[in-house]
């Protein structure tokens, strides 16, 4: 069991520069679409609301979606203390986390040049349990403010029992890479360029709809 | 190397009934939100465009986003023959695949009752290489028609060289579960119910924007 105590006092450190490249963050395919730049990585992490966490259980891979928030040099995950994925990370299991934004469908004149526009980050490492209640509370505040700006001050904070029931994990942004595809389809060439088919991008846009009040909210 | 030859002749089999429950698809937390029903699983798979594939490389988990399409009882993945993730699946590696739709942000009067509305599927198993060019072509048609209805007939199909350069993997929908959260926040209770904060759901909606023609498309 590795229970590294780590505070979130470095939460406001600015991101800067480029991460070191390791064997597993070396860009293999279409390296021109990849980056180890912290500003690019952070921009993707800060736009997404869900990540996918992979870990190994009983010798086999498992991947689970979960909410997260980035603060400074860490992603923060949280959930019930009985959560199996969080428990694995709390116990020091190696994990890989992916964050993906889908931006558009890329249609070309040829089937082969169809693609998707996306931005994604893949991270590797081990998590650490956030144990001090004040640190946990700061992470939960950041999670709430990610859902809706100012929400941490527009709701009752978790009390001691609720904090004790919540496992908070910090995952370092230390071994990671970003990858993105942007823009129009690759040009179809030769006779393909003259084919009478439309080519271009259909953007995918995620928006927040009109809020739906809970049944017990008085207007 | 396990290279199971498997055709896609069963592609149009209707989904029916419930999948058997295995130790790793037993619902642990909030079992009331889970299901092994094929109709529910397929509805989620058919609405999503991206999945996250976890596998083990050099003893450690790796998770990668990729496009997919469901046809019948399989998910189909594709990519370049040099793609490392597809290569691992082609070699018979165990994998876990997650498909997640984020539907809304759930705001309560208490921090603790904040949540997200989502629908997700997690699958376990091993992939199989689709080798017959005609079967690969049918899968690629299904992928194109998933991007835009009828697109497989409104573009030039892959030729023999393009098919040979494309690795197509079938992943069975055999060991899988769905999980979803829907509806308003859990009611805040006691003194919390009287707190002067808004509660409810902010829907998240993904829409297709106005198509952007490629630079070489003549209007």
Query: Considering the domain boundaries, does residue B54 fall inside one?
Result: yes
The pLDDT score that the predictor gives to residue A66 is 98
Q: Is A62 inside a domain boundary? A: yes
Contact assignment for B114 to A155 by CB distance below 8 Å: yes
Which residues from chain A sit within 8 angstroms of residue B54, using beta carbons? 52, 54, 61-63, 96
Q: Which residues of chain B have a CB within 8 Å of the CB of A110?
A: 155-156, 158, 162
CATH code of the domain in which B104 resides: 2.30.110.10
Q: B49, B110, B99, B207: which is closest to A50 by C-alpha?
A: B99
CA distances from A137 to A16, A131, A167, A202, B7 (A): 26, 10, 11, 41, 53
Model confidence at A160: pLDDT above 70:
yes
- If you search the block for the tokens 């450690």, which residue do you land on? B60
What average pLDDT does this structure show over B119-148?
98
pLDDT of amino acid B219: 65
Task: Kindly report the nearest CA distance between residue B8 and chain A, in angstroms.
Answer: 19
Mean pLDDT of chain A: 92
**Beta-bridge partners for B104:** B117, B203
Tens of pLDDT along B50-67?
999 999 999 999 999 999
CA A39 to CA B74: how far, in whole Å? 38
Q: Do B54 and A61 touch (CB under 8 A)?
A: yes
Closest CA to A78 of A166, A173, A145: A166
Among candidate residues A215, A152, A212, A206, the one with its CA nearest the CA of residue B202: A212
Compute the average pLDDT of residues B86-90. Answer: 98
- Rounded to whole angstroms, the Cα distance separating A103 from B215 reads 18
Where does the pLDDT of residue B127 fall: very low under 50, low under 70, confident under 90, or very high at 90 and above?
A: very high
- Considering only CB atoms, which chain B residues are within 8 Å of A150? none
Interface contact flag, B209 A216, Cβ < 8 Å:
no
Q: Which residues of A fall within a CB distance of 8 Å from B95?
A: 61
A206 found inside a domain: no
How many separate domains does chain A show?
A: 1
Question: A218: buried, middle or exposed (CB in 10 Å: 19+, 13-18, 0-12)?
Answer: exposed
- Does residue B217 lie within any of the structural domains? no
Asked whether the predicted pLDDT for residue A200 surpasses 50, the reply is yes
Each residue's pLDDT tens digit, A72-123: 999 999 999 999 999 999 999 999 999 999 999 999 999 999 999 999 999 9
Question: Beta-carbon neighbour count of residue B219 at 10 Å?
Answer: 3
Q: What is the mean pLDDT of residues B163-185?
A: 97
Q: Select the residue of A55, A148, A156 nearest B192 (Cβ to Cβ).
A: A156
pLDDT digits (tens, 9 = 90+) for B145-161: 999 999 999 999 999 99
pLDDT at residue A219, rounded to an integer: 65
Query: What ipTM was assigned to the predicted interfaces of this complex?
Result: 0.92
pLDDT greater than 60 at residue B205: yes
Q: What's the pLDDT score for residue B216?
A: 87
Tell me if B167 is assigned to some domain. yes
- pLDDT, average across residues A170-190: 96
pLDDT for B177 beyond 80: yes
In the predicted structure, residue B175 carries a pLDDT above the cut 90: yes
Q: What is the pLDDT of residue B71?
A: 98
Domain carrying residue B72: 28-182
The whole-number pLDDT of residue A173 equals 98
pLDDT over 90 at A217, yes or no: no
Question: Among all chains, which residue has been given the structure tokens 């498997």?
Answer: B6
CB-based contact A147 B98, cutoff 8 Å:
no
Q: Mean pLDDT in chain B?
A: 92
Residue B127, SS3 per DSSP: coil
Percent of chain B scored above 70 by pLDDT? 92
Residue B41 reports pLDDT greater than 60: yes
Q: Say if residue B217's pLDDT is above 90.
A: no
Contact A206 B204 (CB under 8 A): yes
pLDDT score of A6 more than 90:
no
The residue with greater pLDDT, A159 or B23, is A159
Print the SS3 string covering A68-80. CEEECCEEEEEEE
């Amino acid at each position: 069991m590795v229970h590294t105590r780590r505070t979130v006092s470095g939460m406001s450190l600015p991101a800067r520069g480029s991460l070191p490249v390791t064997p597993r963050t070396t860009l293999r395919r279409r390296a021109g679409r990849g980056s180890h730049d912290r500003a690019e990585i952070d921009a993707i992490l800060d736009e997404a609301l869900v990540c996918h966490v992979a870990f190994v259980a009983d010798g086999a891979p498992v991947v689970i979606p979960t909410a997260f928030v980035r603060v400074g040099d860490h992603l923060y995950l949280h959930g019930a203390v009985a959560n199996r994925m969080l428990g694995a990370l709390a116990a020091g299991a190696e994990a890989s986390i992916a964050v993906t934004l889908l931006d558009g469908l890329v249609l070309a004149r040829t089937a082969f040049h169809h693609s998707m526009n996306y931005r994604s980050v893949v991270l590797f490492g081990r998590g650490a349990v956030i144990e001090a209640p004040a640190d946990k509370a700061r992470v939960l505040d950041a999670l709430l403010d990610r859902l809706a700006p100012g929400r941490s001050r527009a709701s009752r904070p978790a009390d001691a029992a609720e904090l004790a029931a919540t496992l908070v994990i910090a995952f370092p942004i230390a071994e990671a890479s970003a990858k993105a595809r942007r823009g129009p389809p690759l040009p179809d060439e030769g006779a393909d360029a003259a084919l009478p088919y439309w080519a271009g991008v259909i953007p995918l846009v995620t928006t927040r709809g009109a809020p739906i009040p809970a049944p017990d909210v008085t207007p």
